[in-house]
């Protein structure tokens, strides 16, 4: 351990509101004790929040300004299982799958903090599998609705804007989940191969035992779950 000679003595940053003012008015960096990778992921997620926010607002405008009746989501998304009509059942299962995957991701991040290589990789693969399951169910839902005649320009259930809003919002979310699954597998592979335990610098790892890539990946994955919470409430339950 060698101290950098030109580094000023690092006082612990002030907590609370005072610390917030000091951080934001300070030199060079506002986000103390946060690595650039994590700060950038948060800023990316904020921008993504705006994208999804705009989609949901656009959906809201379309829905509240249409003169024809909006299709009843709990009927459109109902499934017949064993002769019983269950409203929204597939969406409910998808929600539970995504929450479960968020839980396993949180476990993976927790394992990464203690640098447990194999449990971290396995939990990430499990998260990816649940995410892939979610996308699979979404594909099923899409093909069912397309089969029933739902198109971006019209559908047999009511207001024409329903199809466009549905495909746009769930499609964009599904794309996020798919990208997340791919990245989870990439990071999991790196963890499994022990790339974060080697004393070398890569774009994901600053040196031996730097597992922060897992935590940053976790931020993205939880965000995907977070967006689904809003889609579930506004699109499916409204």
Partner 1 sequence: MSQSEDHEEHQQHPLKLYFACWILLFVLSAGSYFVDYVQLQGLLRWSLILIFMMLKAGLIVAVFMHMAWERLALSYAVVLPPIAILMFMVIMMFESDYTALTRMEEFSP
| Member of 48, 70, 103, 192 binding partner 1 (CB under 8 A) | 103
Q: What do you get for the CA distance between the two ends of the chain, in Å? A: 58
CB under 8 A: which stretch of 62-70, 136-144, 148-156, 188-196 binds partner 1? 62-70
- Secondary structure element (H or E) that encloses residue 79, with its range: strand 79-81
- Residue 127 touches partner 1, criterion: CB under 8 A: no
The 10 Å Cβ neighbour count of residue 5 is: 5
Q: How far apart are CA 232 and CA 220, in angstroms?
A: 18
Report the SS3 class of residue 205. Answer: strand
- Residue 65 touches partner 1, criterion: CB under 8 A: yes
Nearer to partner 1, 106 or 135 (CB): 106
- Residue 222 touches partner 1, criterion: CB under 8 A: yes
Report the SS3 class of residue 81. Answer: strand
Nearest distance from C-beta of residue 226 to partner 1, angstroms: 5
- Residue 57 touches partner 1, criterion: CB under 8 A: yes
Query: Exposure string (b/e) for 29-56, b if CB count within 10 Å is 16 or more?
Result: eeeeeeeebbeebeeebeebeeebeebb
Residues that bind partner 1 (CB under 8 A): 1-2, 4, 7, 10, 13, 15-17, 19-20, 23-24, 30-35, 38-39, 42-43, 45-46, 49-50, 53-54, 57, 60-61, 64-67, 74, 87-88, 92, 95-96, 99-100, 102-103, 105-107, 110, 113-114, 206-207, 210, 212, 215, 218-219, 222-223, 225-226, 229-230, 232-233, 236-238
């Amino acid at each position: 351990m060698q101290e950098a000679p030109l580094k000023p003595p690092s006082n612990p940053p002030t907590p609370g509101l005072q610390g917030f003012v000091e951080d934001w008015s300070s030199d060079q960096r506002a986000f103390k004790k946060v690595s650039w990778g994590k700060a950038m992921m948060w800023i990316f997620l904020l921008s993504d929040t705006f994208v999804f926010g705009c989609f949901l607002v656009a959906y809201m405008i379309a829905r509240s300004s249409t003169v024809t009746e909006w299709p009843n989501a709990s009927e459109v998304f109902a499934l017949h299982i064993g002769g019983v009509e269950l409203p929204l059942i597939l969406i409910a299962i998808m929600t539970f799958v995504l929450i479960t995957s968020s839980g396993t991701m949180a476990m993976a991040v927790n394992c990464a903090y203690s640098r447990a290589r194999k449990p971290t990789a396995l939990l990430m693969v499990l998260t990816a599998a649940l995410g892939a399951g979610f996308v699979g169910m979404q594909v099923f839902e899409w093909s069912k609705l397309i089969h029933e005649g739902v198109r971006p320009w019209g559908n047999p259930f009511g207001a024409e804007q329903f199809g466009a809003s549905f495909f746009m919002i769930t499609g964009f979310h599904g794309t996020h989940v798919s990208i997340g699954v791919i990245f989870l597998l990439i990071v999991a592979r790196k963890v499994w191969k022990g790339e974060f335990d080697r004393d070398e610098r890569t774009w994901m790892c600053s040196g031996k035992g730097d597992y922060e890539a897992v935590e940053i990946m976790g931020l993205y994955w939880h965000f995907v779950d977070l967006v689904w919470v809003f889609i579930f409430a506004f699109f499916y339950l409204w």
